Amino acid sequence: MARRFAAKAQTADVFAIALREILPDLRERYNVSSLGLFGSYVRGEQTPRSDLDLLVEFDVAPSLFTYIDLRDELSHRLGVSVDLVMKTALRPHIGRRILAEVIPV
């Protein structure tokens, strides 16, 4: 298993680097086709209680259990609570805002 990144005072850029490092493994194990960061870390508004918001796309739609496993693994490996949002689940209004600020990995 890849190393775990501590979340102390992390920035979106640090998380993007960490995610790029583990993305090949996520592609193989979870059929992840793309990841992007959005939310408070991208806007520089994170607090010690903030989760890391990730926009995810899959080559093959995951089961609920696979989706939860991916979220839990990312939380463990990054050292911060992760909130996964599937790109296909975005509603028009909020989706436009998310897509405007997303940092692709």
Catalytic residue positions?
A: 51, 53
- Residue 66, CA distances (Å) to 51, 81, 85 in order: 20, 17, 14
Find all residues with CB under 8 Å of 83, minimum gap 6, and list them.
Answer: 39, 51, 52, 53, 54, 71
| The residue to which tokens 């903030």 are assigned | 50
Look up residue 71 and give its two tokens. 């979220």
